[in-house]
């Protein structure tokens, strides 16, 4: 069952923690793919120097300011798409980066998209999982309550919190324990 809009319309930290164990799915013309979310990071807008919305609304971040339940995608290093879930209510810019998945549906299609056979490394990073699921820049603003990309309720996994990855530029925000991982899961990012 798809998560309802209300799931996303809570604070980003709660959404980030509770996404662990849910299944992220894409349903595209070439096939359905999906995986269990095993790693997330919360980005908390104006109070978080690591957030793209920290310095206010821009053309790039306008989706952050919508009501929760939409997709925010962006390109890093000029080549990798990162998939994020917009959280909270309209006007409160918070989002959750999906950092890693445990592949479960459409695994062969994911392997073809990534040109990769190693199951453990298939979705063990934000760029990897986006490519495996067929997520492109065109997903910016996609509705998670729609048919093309959505999150299903799945299982409850034990979760631990750690510092986020690659946000050393963010001063004290680099030390916030806003990364959530499924405890002991072999599919988290390296």
Considering the domain boundaries, does residue 153 fall inside one? yes
Tell me the pTM: 0.96
Identify whether 189 is part of a domain. Answer: no
Residue 19 lies in a domain: yes
Say if 190 falls within a structural domain. Answer: no
Q: Which domain holds residue 134?
A: 5-182
- The reported pLDDT for the residue numbered 190 is 79
In a domain, 188, yes or no: no
The predicted-structure confidence for 26-74, as pLDDT tens digits, reads as follows 999 999 999 999 999 999 999 999 999 999 899 889 999 999 999 999 9
User: Is 41 within the bounds of a domain?
Assistant: yes
* In-domain check, residue 187: no
Specify if 178 maps to a domain.
Answer: yes
Q: How far is CA 63 from the centre of its chain?
A: 14
Residue range 150-170, pLDDT digits in tens: 999 988 899 999 999 999 999
CATH number at residue 49: 3.10.300.10
pLDDT at 118: 95
Rounded percentage of the chain residues whose pLDDT exceeds 70: 100
Q: How many structural domains comprise the chain?
A: 1
């Amino acid at each position: 069952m798809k998560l309802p809009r209300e799931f996303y319309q809570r604070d980003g930290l709660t959404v980030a923690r509770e996404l662990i164990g849910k299944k992220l799915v894409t349903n595209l013309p070439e096939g359905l793919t999906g995986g269990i979310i095993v790693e997330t990071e919360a980005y908390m807008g104006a109070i978080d120097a690591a957030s793209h919305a920290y310095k206010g609304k821009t053309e790039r971040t306008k989706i952050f300011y919508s009501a929760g339940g939409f997709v925010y995608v962006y390109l890093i290093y000029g080549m990798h798409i990162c998939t994020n879930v917009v959280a909270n209510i309209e006007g409160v810019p918070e989002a959750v980066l999906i950092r890693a998945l445990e592949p479960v549906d459409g695994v062969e299609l994911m392997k073809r998209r990534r040109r990769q056979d190693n199951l453990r490394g298939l979705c063990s990073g934000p760029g990897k999982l986006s490519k495996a699921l067929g997520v492109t820049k065109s997903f910016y603003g996609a509705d998670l309550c729609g048919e093309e990309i959505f999150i299903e309720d799945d299982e409850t996994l034990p979760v631990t919190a750690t510092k986020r990855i690659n946000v050393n530029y963010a001063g004290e925000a680099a030390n916030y324990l806003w990364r959530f991982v499924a405890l002991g899961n072999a599919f988290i990012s390296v």
